[in-house]
Structure 1
Amino acid sequence: MGDGPVMKMVIAVAIMMTATVNGAILSGNFLGDFEPTFGDHRVKAMGGQLLALSLDQYSGAGFRSKKDFLFGRVDMQLKLVPGDSAGTVTTFYLTSDQSTGRHDEIDFEFLGNQSGQPYTLHTNVFSQGKGDREQQFHLWFDPTINFHTYSIVWNTRLIMFLVDNTPIRVFRSNEDMGVPFPKNQPMKIQCSLWSADWATQGGLIKTDWSKAPFVAYYKSYNIDGCEGMSGKSACANTPGSWRTHDLDAYGRRRLRWVQTNYMIYNYCKDTKRYPQGPPKECQRVE
Structure 2
Amino acid sequence: MPPRNSNQPRSKSFIPYLAFIIFSAIFVFKVDVIISQTISSARRNVEIATSAPNVVIGNGTFHRHFIVSWGESRARILEDGELLELSLDKFSGSGFESKKEFLFGKIDMQIKLVPGDSAGTVTTYYLSSEGDHHDEIDFEFLGNSSGNPYTLHTNVFSQGKGEREQQFFLWFDPTEDFHTYTILWNPRCILFYVDGIPIREFKNLERRRVPFPKDQPMRIYSSLWDAEEWATQHGLVKTNWTLAPFTAGYRNFSAEACVWSYKTKSSACNSNDFKSKRWLKTGLDSRSRAEMKRLQKKHMVYDYCKDKWRFPKGPGRECKFQ
- TM-score of the pair, normalised by structure 2: 0.78
Partner residue in 1 for 2:40 = none
Determine the C-alpha separation between the residues in 2 that align with 1:92 and 1:233: 22
Q: Deviations over 1:187-206 (max 9, x none)?
A: 11111111102110000000
Which has the larger displacement, 212-221 or 108-117? Answer: 212-221
Structure 2 residue matching 1:167: 3-state secondary structure: strand
Structure 2 residue matching 1:242: 3-state secondary structure: helix
1:111 pairs with 2:142:
yes
Partner residue in 1 for 2:235 = 203
Structure 2 residue matching 1:258: 3-state secondary structure: helix
Partner residue in 2 for 1:3 = none
Partner residue in 1 for 2:196 = 165
Pick from 171, 179, 185 the counterpart of residue 148 of structure 1.
Answer: 179
Shift of 1:252: 1.3
Which letter does structure 1 place at the counterpart of 2:55? A
Pick from 70, 77, 90 the counterpart of residue 103 of structure 2.
Answer: 70
Pick from 230, 244, 250 the counterpart of residue 212 of structure 1.
Answer: 244
Structure 2 residue matching 1:216: 3-state secondary structure: strand
Structure 1 residue matching 2:81: 3-state secondary structure: coil
Which letter does structure 2 place at the counterpart of 1:228? W
Q: Deviations over 1:166-208 (max 9, x none)?
A: 1111001111121111001111111111110211000000000
Which has the larger displacement, 275-284 or 226-235? Answer: 226-235
Structure 2 residue matching 1:162: 3-state secondary structure: strand
Shift of 1:261: 0.8
Partner residue in 1 for 2:269 = 235
1:185 pairs with 2:216:
yes
Shift of 1:25: 1.6
Which letter does structure 1 place at the counterpart of 2:125? F
Shift of 1:31: 1.7
Partner residue in 1 for 2:258 = 226
Structure 1 residue matching 2:173: 3-state secondary structure: coil
Question: Any gaps of 5 or more consecutive residues in structure 1?
Answer: 1-17
Question: 4+ residue stretches of structure 1 with deviation over 4 A?
Answer: 18-22, 230-234
Partner residue in 1 for 2:296 = 259
Choose between structure 1 and 2: higher helix proportion.
Answer: 2
Determine the C-alpha separation between the residues in 2 that align with 1:169 and 1:219: 23
Contact 1:54 1:193 (C-alpha < 8 Å) held by counterparts: yes
Contact 1:236 1:243 (C-alpha < 8 Å) held by counterparts: no
Structure 2 residue matching 1:23: 3-state secondary structure: coil
- Number of equivalenced pairs: 266
Contact 1:156 1:236 (C-alpha < 8 Å) held by counterparts: no
Partner residue in 2 for 1:37 = 69
Pick from 34, 39, 57 the counterpart of residue 90 of structure 2.
Answer: 57
Structure of larger gyration radius: 2
Which structure is richer in relative contact order (CA contacts within 8 A, separation 6 or more)? 1
| RMSD over aligned Cα atoms | 1.9
Contact 2:103 2:215 (C-alpha < 8 Å) held by counterparts: yes
1:92 pairs with 2:129:
no
Shift of 1:258: 1.2
Determine the C-alpha separation between the residues in 2 that align with 1:138 and 1:29: 30
Which letter does structure 2 place at the counterpart of 1:270? D
Contact 2:111 2:251 (C-alpha < 8 Å) held by counterparts: no
Shift of 1:232: 6.1
- TM-score of the pair, normalised by structure 1: 0.88
